[in-house]
Amino acid sequence: MMSSFQPRSALDADSVKAAYRRWARVYDSVFGGISAFGRRRAVAAVNALPGKKVLEVGVGTGLALPSYNKDKRITGIDLSEDMLERARLRVLRDHLGNIDDLLEMDAEATTFEDNSFDIAVAMFVASVVPHPDLLLKELKRLVRPGGHILFVNHFLADGGVRLKMERVMARASRSLGWHPDFAMETLLPPEDRARATVTPVPPMGLFTLVTLPQNKDR
């Protein structure tokens, strides 16, 4: 069932692939700068957590890959082969020895076994995937008890001019390839929201870092 917080125009997997086929070539120059702070915070949070096996969901062009501590072993997945191609080039160019795999895979239904990872991190992905509730369910399955799930994302403002702008921008979701009107409640049910650590990230609190510990007794 669709939550009442569902963005108005859900993207399906084909529109995600089509959007990121267009964005792949210019993604780093158009989005790399504005999103850098959020990405840096999320990777710093991952680096500070215990556990080595990290799943980066929606790894895109791999902008975060050079920033992980070298003792973290990274598996990246993405729906878009065009984005992944750039991530693979980055790994070669920067001689990144701690990237285990970069795989074309749907984060809502992966082929990994239960409890395969210590940490899963999704940067600017939750507002792109077709079904954020399925994404969360899948990440809970993949991260071991006592591990952590992290999201950094733009979430819908509570009110004011920003909320109005986000509602207007949402009409362009399909060509943008993400939902400007994505509410945190679309991703996190109240019980998870209550357990999560939620930290605003500059610039201007535009992005939010969410850290969700996995229950130990799952």
Residue numbers at the binding site for ligand SAM (CB under 6 A)? 16, 20, 35, 39, 58-60, 63-64, 77-80, 83, 106-108, 123-125, 128-129, 178
Q: Is 11 helix (H, G, I), strand (E, B) or coil?
A: coil
Give the CB-nearest residue to ligand SAM. 60
Please, which residue, 14 or 114, has the CB nearer to ligand SAM? Answer: 14
Question: Least distance to ligand SAM from the beta carbon of 112, Å?
Answer: 13
Strands 207-213 and 143-153, sheet pairing: antiparallel
Strands 117-123 and 73-78, sheet pairing: unpaired
Please, which residue, 112 or 146, has the CB nearer to ligand SAM? Answer: 112
Q: Is omega for the bond preceding 145 within 30 degrees of 0, making it cis? A: no
Please, which residue, 64 or 74, has the CB nearer to ligand SAM? Answer: 64
User: DSSP string covering 157-182, please?
Assistant: -SSHHHHHHHHHHGGGHHHHTS-TT-
User: What helix, strand, coil percent values describe the chain, rounded to 5?
Assistant: 40, 20, 40
Please, which residue, 137 or 195, has the CB nearer to ligand SAM? Answer: 137
Q: Are 192 and 184 in contact (CB under 8 A)?
A: no
Please, which residue, 35 or 186, has the CB nearer to ligand SAM? Answer: 35
Q: Are 33 and 99 in contact (CB under 8 A)?
A: no
Question: Least distance to ligand SAM from the beta carbon of 100, Å?
Answer: 17
Question: Least distance to ligand SAM from the beta carbon of 216, Å?
Answer: 27
Q: d(Cα 68, Cα 44) in Å, to the nearest integer?
A: 8
